Structure 1
Amino acid sequence: MRNVTNILIVNLSFSDLLVAIMCLPFTFVYTLMDHWVFGEAMCKLNPFVQCVSITVSIFSLVLIAVERHQLIINPRGWRPNNRHAYVGIAVIWVLAVASSLPFLIYQVMTDEPFQNVTLDAYKDKYVCFDQFPSDSHRLSYTTLLLVLQYFGPLCFIFICYFKVRKLFFYHFHFYLLYTEFLIK
């Protein structure tokens, strides 16, 4: 159990479990009830934890791809060890927390959307949403998250597995040539 892959998979599992316990139930209830009932602390904490855990999950997948890449492409060269895995996990968590801090800062609970509604059913109801200083701040932050949580990791994982695939087909091609040579 004490190898790099298992350490990274445990970290991935922990972050996914965090989503299942801390995010899914609150999001489910919020979607069903159409207003926020969990208080201001959870209004700030829920999207923060969700962003942290998603970031940790995707970067854990990146580290797993890097480790597999190294083991297959360069089996006699540099290989990540347990210490590298723990350092990588620590860096991932610090990066995830830092990139998620705007949710703690700008997430607010307000009754503003319900103020002009005259139905009694919407009295004393609140919603939870992000209130950035300006639309350009929101656009910058969401673009950063898109690059950090999606495009960057996607490109990195794609390159790692593409190189593995390329090596596989290179060896497979020579295997076919070799077996063809033996048959003749």
Structure 2
Amino acid sequence: MDLDYGATDCNVTNDTSVSNNCSQGFNQFVQPVWQVALWAVAYCSIVAVSVVGNVVVIWIILAHKRMRTVTNYFLVNLAFAEAAISAFNTVINFVYAVHNDWYFGQIYCHFHNFFPIAAIFASIYSMTAIALYRYMAIVHPLQQRLSSTETCVVITVIWMLALLLAYPQYYYSSTNLLPGRTICYIQWPEYTTVDFRKIYYVCVTLLIYFLPLCIMGCAYTTVGITLWASEIPGDSSEHYKEQLISKRKVVKMMVMVLCTFAVCWLPYHIYFLLHEFFPDLFEQLYIQQVYLAVMWLAMSSTMYNPIIYYCLNSRFRAGFQQVFCCCVATVTKEERPIEALGLTLLHFIFLRKCGLNT
């Protein structure tokens, strides 16, 4: 479903069928400046944390050979998708939701409706691939593991399916010039026998939310029973104990990522399904605040994963500390000449005062 189609958009089915508010160029959802400023800070914070955090995650994995595992390659794909959503869609969504005026042109309207679904699909199925990989590695340890090449093939297939699923939103996206403003919407085809739009939205919700969550839930339940069903035997080797503890930590981290995604996106999917089947509920003035809150929660899912990795994985924590310590060290190094110059001037003045300068 299109991420920009919310409470502030117009119900457009063709170029001549618009609501009264749209035809008059009137936006009934107007907020005070202080409210807009608070929402702006909230949305910009998502972009800053998400882009920086996910870019650092990508660097940690790709720059360190020891981190290049199958699970981490999928985490790179996940981080890339989340950083891209934040960078290209989050602020645009906010601006369009607040102003109800599309400033970004026809081409970006196509991209704006198309890319988020592809990226969300890539994100959730990267997590699903990790869950299935952990399931095979732990429950069926004798089965052949994925190689790096096979992992790249799986990631490529995920993106191809993602682009295919999102293509209808690209194809039917359009802009419409109204009195005083422009709107970006999806001009769905009209059929007499079926409602293509409702069918598409229900299918998308099932494919990018409920189906992968069910698959991951079953996989991690089985993995959890396998890893935690019994205590570590007392006579086990230290290597075996370390491996088991490491596997448990990875599973805990990924379950946390899964739960965060599920909680953040559930209100969003409920909102848009209600919008499709009960459109009259969305004519209230407060619905814009509901839309902005639901959208903020969904978009905020892109910034939590780097925090989870930092808190629950020692290698990622070391990588983050390395990045930020280098940044601090660089700033300190740049400041040293200035500090030295200041101390030299103070020393010169002190000598002049004491009559010791020659």
| TM-score relative to the length of structure 1 | 0.83
Name 1:50's counterpart in structure 2.
Answer: 116
Give the C-alpha shift of residue 124 in structure 1.
3.0
How many Å separate the matches in 2 of 1:80 and 1:68?
A: 11
Superposition pairs of residues 1-184 of structure 1, within 5 angstroms = 1-111=67-177, 114=178, 123-134=179-190, 136-172=195-231
How many Å separate the matches in 2 of 1:142 and 1:81?
A: 35
Q: What SS does the corresponding residue of 1:11 show, helix, strand or coil?
A: helix
Give the C-alpha shift of residue 17 in structure 1.
0.9
How many Å separate the matches in 1 of 2:151 and 2:113?
A: 27
RMSD, aligned CA: 1.8
| TM-score relative to the length of structure 2 | 0.44
Q: What SS does the corresponding residue of 1:42 show, helix, strand or coil?
A: helix
Name 2:299's counterpart in structure 1.
Answer: none
How many Å separate the matches in 2 of 1:88 and 1:149?
A: 17
Read off the aligned partner of 1:25 and give its amino acid letter: V
Query: Number of matched residues?
Result: 165
Name 1:118's counterpart in structure 2.
Answer: none
Structure 1 segments of 4+ aligned residues over 4 angstroms from their partners: none
Give the C-alpha shift of residue 84 in structure 1.
2.1
Give the C-alpha shift of residue 85 in structure 1.
1.0
Give the C-alpha shift of residue 129 in structure 1.
1.4
How many Å separate the matches in 2 of 1:26 and 1:47?
A: 11
The higher relative CO (CA closer than 8 Å, separation ≥ 6) is in 1
Q: Structure 1 residues 81, 171: CA separation in 2 closer, same or farther (over 3 Å shift)?
A: farther
Q: What SS does the corresponding residue of 2:195 show, helix, strand or coil?
A: helix
Structure 2, unaligned runs of 5 or more: 1-66, 235-358
Read off the aligned partner of 2:182 and give its amino acid letter: Y
How many Å separate the matches in 2 of 1:30 and 1:140?
A: 26
Q: What SS does the corresponding residue of 1:98 show, helix, strand or coil?
A: helix
Alpha-carbon contact 1:108-1:128 (below 8 Å) kept = yes
Give the C-alpha shift of residue 175 in structure 1.
6.0
Give the C-alpha shift of residue 169 in structure 1.
3.9
How many Å separate the matches in 2 of 1:35 and 1:14?
A: 29
Give the C-alpha shift of residue 77 in structure 1.
2.0
Alpha-carbon contact 1:3-1:81 (below 8 Å) kept = no
Read off the aligned partner of 1:171 and give its amino acid letter: S
Name 1:117's counterpart in structure 2.
Answer: none
